């Protein structure tokens, strides 16, 4: 399978983690996608046969693994947003997209979605040029958001700053920071922080932190042929091995040992 990531242009770097392109071989089998604390928008062409219509959709925050279907050699172009940033471009509370795949036309309108899809696929052009069209449209939406009334922009900046701090704190602690302590640092109640997280990130702070810890554990497994499961659990911030197993069952759909064998 072909897969390549590209850095965003500087004006989008605060919001976009990367742009990416992929193409699966014809009749590719399903593959498992794990929760990664990201929101992506994907654009796909009609496949090798040309009989499948173009599609464009958002994949919201995930709290469990999904099986991505194989394809008829469809090309995919996508943007992966940094945590907490997608809502600025989608203009919808992100908790409504959790564990969902939503047609981008429902969020952006049929005409805007269709114009971008036509520009992407109506003729052959280099991959990076297609991705530049996506970036240009994202910048249009960003500029529109920044042109809102001053009071709205100020409120947006305050909430965004709070979320950025909270996300950085959770990421740097690999999810081990207590949510009560995080709320105290920010000078807000736990309930206010949870509501803001659901709206702007999609998940609750606690669930986001759990996925941070799970991602640390899966990263550690990639470098360990024969892990000591109890030691791995403690190193990654779990109470014990059963706690580690519980999270792997939820986020990977398999116990750690089985996950390691299938990775």
Same domain, 73 and 16: yes
Average pLDDT over residues 21-43: 86
What is the rounded distance in angstroms from the CA atom of residue 201 to the CA atom of residue 203? Answer: 6
Q: Does the residue 87 lie in any domain?
A: yes
The CATH number covering residue 71 comes to: 2.60.120
Q: b/e map of 8-40 (b: 16 or more CB within 10 Å)?
A: beeebeebbbbbbbbbbeeebeeeeebbbbbbb
Domain termination site, one of 164, 187, 206: 206
Distance (Å) of CA 59 to CA 91, 120, 168, 203, 228: 15, 19, 22, 14, 35
Same domain, 155 and 141: no
Same domain, 36 and 97: yes
**For the residues of 221-259, what is the DSSP string, one character each?**
HTT-SS--HHHHHHHTT-SSHHHHHHHHHHHTSS-HHHH
Same domain, 87 and 202: no
Same domain, 59 and 173: no
Q: Cα–chain-centroid distance for residue 238? A: 24
> Is 170 within 8 Å of 179 (Cβ atoms)?
no
More confident residue, 52 or 59: 59
Domain of 167 in residue numbering reads as 150-206
Q: Does the residue 249 lie in any domain?
A: no
Per-residue model confidence (pLDDT) at position 210 = 96
**Quick check: helix, strand or coil at residue 71?**
coil
Distance (Å) of CA 100 to CA 60, 71, 87, 92, 207: 6, 19, 15, 13, 17
Per-residue model confidence (pLDDT) at position 150 = 82
Q: Does the residue 232 lie in any domain?
A: no
What would the pLDDT profile of 239-259 be if each residue is shown by its tens digit? 999 999 999 999 999 998 888
Q: Report the length, in residues, of the chain.
A: 263
**Burial zone of 186 (CB within 10 Å; 0-12 exposed, 13-18 middle, 19+ buried):** middle
Domain termination site, one of 206, 229, 245: 206
Per-residue model confidence (pLDDT) at position 145 = 85
Provide the pLDDT confidence category of residue 74 given band limits of 50, 70 and 90: confident
Same domain, 20 and 142: yes
Domain termination site, one of 206, 222, 240: 206
Given the DSSP bridges, would you call strands 75-81 and 16-23 parallel, antiparallel or unpaired? antiparallel
Over the chain, what is the mean pLDDT?
91
Same domain, 123 and 155: no
Same domain, 129 and 64: yes
**Quick check: helix, strand or coil at residue 7?**
coil
Same domain, 134 and 168: no
Same domain, 186 and 165: yes
On the question of pLDDT at 35 being above 80, the answer is: yes
How large is the greatest C-alpha to C-alpha distance in the chain, in angstroms?
57
Give me the torsion for CA of 93, 95, 101, 107, rounded to 10°. Answer: -10
Same domain, 79 and 191: no
Provide the pLDDT confidence category of residue 73 given band limits of 50, 70 and 90: confident
Provide the pLDDT confidence category of residue 50 given band limits of 50, 70 and 90: low
What would the pLDDT profile of 126-182 be if each residue is shown by its tens digit? 999 999 999 999 999 999 988 878 888 788 888 999 999 999 999 999 999 999 999
**For the residues of 83-104, what is the DSSP string, one character each?**
TTTHHHHH-S-GGGGTT-EEEH
Same domain, 78 and 110: yes
Structural domain total, the chain: 2
């Amino acid at each position: 399978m072909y897969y390549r990531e590209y850095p965003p242009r500087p004006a989008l770097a605060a919001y976009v983690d990367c742009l990416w392109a992929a193409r699966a071989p014809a009749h590719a089998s399903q593959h498992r996608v794990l929760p990664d604390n990201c929101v992506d928008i994907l654009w796909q062409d009609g496949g090798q046969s040309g009989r499948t219509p173009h599609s464009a959709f958002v994949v919201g925050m995930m709290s469990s693994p999904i099986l991505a279907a194989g394809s008829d050699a469809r090309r995919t172009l996508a943007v992966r947003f940094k945590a907490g940033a997608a809502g600025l471009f989608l203009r919808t509370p992100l908790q409504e997209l959790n564990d969902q795949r939503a047609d981008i036309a429902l969020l952006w309108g049929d005409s805007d979605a269709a114009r971008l899809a036509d520009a992407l696929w109506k003729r052959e052009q280099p991959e990076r040029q297609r991705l530049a069209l996506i970036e240009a449209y994202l910048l249009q939406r960003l500029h529109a958001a920044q042109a809102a009334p001053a009071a709205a922009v100020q409120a947006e900046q305050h909430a965004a700053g709070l979320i950025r701090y909270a996300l950085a704190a959770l990421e740097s602690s690999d999810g081990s920071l207590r949510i009560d302590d995080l709320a105290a640092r920010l000078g807000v109640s736990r309930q206010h922080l949870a509501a803001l997280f659901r709206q702007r990130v999609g998940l609750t702070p606690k669930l986001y932190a759990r996925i941070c810890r799970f991602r640390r554990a899966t990263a550690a497994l990639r470098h360990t042929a024969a892990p000591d499961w109890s030691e791995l659990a403690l190193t990654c911030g779990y109470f014990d091995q059963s706690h580690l197993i519980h999270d792997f069952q939820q986020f990977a759909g398999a116990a750690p040992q089985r996950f390691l064998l299938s990775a």
